[in-house]
Copies of this chain bind each other. A is one copy, B any other.
Amino acid sequence: MTTAELTIFEALESNVRGYCRAWPTLFDTAQGAWLRDGSGREYLDFFAGAGALNYGHNNPVLKQALLDYIARDGITHGLDMSTVAKRELLEAIERILLDPRGLDYKVQFPGPTGANAVESALKLARKITGRTTILNFTNAFHGMTLGALSVTGNAAKRAGAGVPLVHVNPMPYDGYVEGADFGWMERVLDDNSSGVDKPAAVIVETVQGEGGVNVARHEWLRALAGLCAARGILLIVDDVQMGCGRTGPFFSFETAGITPDIVTLSKSISGYGMPLALVLMRRELDQWAPGEHNGTFRGNNPAFVTAKVSLEHFWTDRKLEESTLLKGERIRESFGALADSHAGITTRGRGLVQGLSFEDASQASKVCRIAFEKGLIVETSGAEDQVVKLLPPLTITDDELDHGLKILTDAVHTIREGR
């Protein structure tokens, strides 16, 4: 890879570009857990499109379905017209996702991004309740459009709004304040002079990926759901990053035994990395008027095709869920060993979202930089970028996983011991 090949990006692409700075090469092709650059060098991918590639890059089964669909001139852009591809996806959602789990949701196709799904969910919750306030959580990340950004925690990203972000009140996420749980939240909700206006909804991630791989306990999620239900507050689970099997089951909230009022899905829902997003809402909450929320690309039919095939291929049995949990354990063991050998390192995670947190935040970035040099793509997260966050494809092999963990382990040792 010569630097010349990257010149155009510096000359023409906006300064807003980010990841290309951390991984300065010219990527070309990808397969499974591997990316390949223009010079033929290969990189193992522990980031998986920030969770958009749970089934790896260019999965051959999905790829064939996609090629067939394009070849036969299946509709590409369908707005929200009824199409064969959409019907088949809806049927698969009903048959594979909803019915077996006893979920009586209706399905909305907003614009094809997670932020758009979040914006839709917030609008719907406000419309239904006639209230404006949303409770979000510390260190949350929900997207960059104005509504989604308002419920996001990061100060630098919030400042980008250019207007005050309002109608929102952050609450402490599980573990944020030692031993605090819902003492504060319940108190303000039940006190009509607390100054916190009664909210339309609470929006929560079951594991905060961007926030630093913060894991909410199942009992905390159950308590949250109960607290909302008792007060007529809608519960929105933003499953954009943690859904589609990232934590084990398809929906990240399944294990906690809760049923959110509204669920947002995106990232891996198309299975192939193509833009797609869904909003699921309890049937009685589907109070949208026709066309009240829309978007040009809400009918990305090729993504419907791969989404349907991915559900059929990965979610008609429990194999993927089980292997995800096993691989998660594999990472935890490796990370546990690191935490044992080095002070100031802790581990956190669920399923195949796992984090290695450094007391000295700068070490996390150093680890990622060394890893890239050794051919591993991995990113930091957290308020101080203090966490090395692993989001490998769920379909990664044990050997690939071990290969990457070896690189990480070496990198940590190098940082910590000069080894």
Give me the interface of A with B, judged by CB distance under 8 Å: 5-6, 8-9, 12-21, 23-31, 35, 38, 49-53, 57-58, 63, 66-67, 70-84, 86-87, 90-91, 93-94, 106-109, 111-116, 119, 122-123, 125-127, 132-133, 136-140, 143-148, 150-158, 160-170, 172, 176-178, 180, 183-184, 187-188, 191-198, 200, 211, 240, 266-267, 272-275, 279, 281, 286-297, 300, 302, 382-383
Contact = CB atoms under 8 A, between A and B. Distances in A.
A15 B38 CA distance: 47
A335 to B, nearest CB: 22
Given A16-B108, A30-B74, A160-B289, 13 more contacts: A13-B106, A13-B109, A14-B108, A25-B82, A29-B72, A31-B73, A58-B76, A76-B272, A111-B116, A112-B297, A163-B164, A164-B164, A169-B169
Query: Among the interface residues A18, A136, A200, which one has the most CB atoms of the partner chain B within 10 A?
Result: A18
Contact of A191 (B138, B273, B289): B138
Nearest to A13: B107
B193 A153 contact: yes
Q: How many copies does the complex hold?
A: 4
A40 to B, nearest CB: 12
B123 A20 contact: no
A273 B211 CA distance: 34
A52 B297 contact: yes
Contacts of A71: 67
A12 B106 contact: yes
A119 to B, nearest CB: 5
B198 A161 contact: no
Which 7 A-B pairs have CB atoms at the shortest separation, nearest pair first? A126-B162, A77-B273, A146-B147, A170-B195, A16-B288, A193-B383, A18-B291
A379 B278 CA distance: 25
A8 B50 contact: no
A196 B168 CA distance: 9
A295 B144 contact: yes
A283 to B, nearest CB: 10
